[in-house]
Amino acid sequence: MNNPTQPRITQATTRRDFLKTSTVAGGGVLLASLDVARFAHAAGNDVIKIALVGCGGRGTNAASMALQNAAHANVKLVAMADMFADHIEAKLDILNKRCAAQIDVPPERRFVGFDACQKAIDCGVDMVLLCTPPGFRPMQFEAAVKAGKHVFMEKPVAVDAPGYRRVKAVNEEAKKKNLMVAVGHHLRHGATHREVVKQIHDGLIGDLTYTRAYFNTSGIWNRERKPGMTEMEYQVLNWYHFVWLSGDHLVEQHVHGVDVCNWLAKDHPPVEAVGMGGRQVRIAKGIGELFDHFALQFTYAKGLRSFSECRHMPACWANCAHHAHGTKGFVNFDFADNATICLEGQEEKRVKHTGAEAHQAEMDDLFAALLAGKPYNEADVSADSTMTAILGRMAAYSGKLVKWDDAIASQLNLMPDRFALDAEPKSKPGPDGIYPCATPGVTKAL
């Protein structure tokens, strides 16, 4: 979404004017200004060089969608970074099959290890796609912005309150440098979500009384520990199962629905949360420290409430959807960007998704803004949605009512003291090989 607080730069703005604006706004930060100025006037033949950091399932799709965006044909993938060399090779094969002409990633621009992200940032790219586990997001976002790179980063953007504060602070720098910052909340780019949420804001269902969001699935993958792996290596490989890397599934996946509920509440995050959850099914040896179910209640200013559930359990009711309820009716939304509008006394109306698939639309919107030189920054609202999910996790882990102001001030830092394959993660298995999970009423969660 465009940031309304930023000065709008029109296509008519001259390169000289743009540089002046950028230099004044950015306190003399020239590198980013030059990049943006170039994009503000890019004829279709300017090459935009991108690096993919985190070569997994999502990163591969994000890279191909960036290369195939509808706004600018001349995008090239020139660098790839991952913790594991085989992940790069496997995904490079896939990308070469999809769009070989736009890929130029020779072995010297394939980077491996904890410093791979920095190396990719430093090899002459214009934009980085940050698609690593979310625990790394704040530091990688900081490195990209420091180097004056435009950013597409996946959701969630942090896993704890220190990470949230870091993203917010770094984003202030990104805005000063006129950098484009997109975040992978694709539903905000789905044509139906956009139109119907706007209509709800304009009174379609009367006053909003409550919202609901569900991310109930059978669960996710588990990557086995390989012989000789250090504990750090294993946790990074099997990242979803560790809170310092994924934030737990409430933060990792359910943040999509949480984000839509915040959006429905006009992007004012909740003031407090209560909730519960536990680990009932996912207890088998070695599967990490996450809960497998959560049920939450977020309260916004003026009493609006949002009820939220997420679950990782096979053979149970699977449902991923979100709903807005008002004084005159309600709307059901699904993840394929369809909606059903149910107004009192009227036949229900189905609004089917149209246009580009929402993940593609988010890339199309980013590149269109980049070429037009329009300010584009999704990090603040996305960070608030990430923090809302973290607030919910704090409430469920601790069993307490947690206030937003206390949550965002939390000093609980989940990150290890150093990043190296022989470093100790803070999460450790017990003597039985089982990683402990939070115990409501006992665990200090903020």
Binding site for ligand NAD (CB under 6 A): 53-59, 81-84, 87, 114, 116-117, 131-134, 136, 154-155, 184, 186, 236, 252
Judged by beta carbon, residue 18 or residue 111, the one nearer ligand NAD is 111
User: Between 37 and 157, whose beta carbon lies closer to ligand NAD?
Assistant: 157
- Residue 339 CA to residue 341 CA, distance in Å, equals 6
Q: How far is the CB of 400 from ligand NAD (least distance, A)?
A: 27
Nearer to ligand NAD, 56 or 163 (CB): 56
- DSSP letter at 129 equals E
Query: Counting every residue, how long is the chain?
Result: 446
Q: What is the DSSP string of 358-426?
A: HHHHHHHHHHHHHHHT---B-HHHHHHHHHHHHHHHHHHHHTS-EEHHHHHT-----S-SS-STTSPPS
CA 419-430-287 angle, to 5 degrees, is 75
Using only C-alpha atoms, the chain has a radius of gyration, in whole angstroms, of 22
Closer CB to ligand NAD, 53 or 351, in the complex:
53
Sign for the CA dihedral angle at 78, 79, 80, 86 comes to positive
Phi, psi dihedrals of residue 46, rounded to the nearest 5°: -70, 135
Spatial separation of the C-alpha atoms in residues 409 and 412, rounded to whole Å: 9
Which of 114/307 has CB closer to ligand NAD? 114
Q: Which is nearer to ligand NAD, 113 or 286 (CB)?
A: 113
Closest approach, Cβ 241 to ligand NAD, in A, equals 11
Using the minimum distance from each CB to ligand NAD, give the nearer residue, 208 or 358.
Answer: 358
* Least distance from ligand NAD to the Cβ atom of residue 352, Å: 20
Tokens of 139: 């530091």
Q: How far is the CB of 36 from ligand NAD (least distance, A)?
A: 25
Residue 415 beta carbon to ligand NAD: minimum distance, rounded to whole angstroms: 12
Report the residue closest to ligand NAD, judged by CB.
56
Q: Give the nearest distance from C-beta 117 to ligand NAD in angstroms.
A: 5
Cβ proximity to ligand NAD, 42 vs 65, nearer residue: 65
Strand 305-312 to 127-130 pairing:
unpaired
Minimal distance, residue 157 CB to ligand NAD, in Å:
9
The burial of 244, by beta-carbon neighbours within 10 Å (0-12 exposed, 13-18 middle, 19 or more buried), is given as buried
| Nearest to ligand NAD of 153, 446 (CB atom) | 153
CB of 155 to ligand NAD, least distance (A): 6
Q: How far is CA 2 from CA 15, 49, 59, 392, in A?
A: 21, 23, 24, 27
Q: Regarding beta strands 272-278 and 293-299, do their DSSP bridges make them parallel or antiparallel, or are they unpaired?
A: antiparallel
Cβ(56)–Cβ(220) below 8 Å: no
CB of 193 to ligand NAD, least distance (A): 13
Counting runs of H as helices and runs of E as strands, what totals does the chain give?
A: 15, 15
Instruction: Write out the E strands in 134-231.
Output: 150-153, 181-183, 208-217
Instruction: Return d(Cα 26, Cα 19) in angstroms, integer.
Output: 10
d(CA 129, CA 66): 9
For residue 425, cis peptide bond before it (omega within 30 degrees of 0): no
Our CB check for ligand NAD shows the closer of 178 and 360 to be 360
Question: At closest approach, how far in Å is the CB of 88 from ligand NAD?
Answer: 8
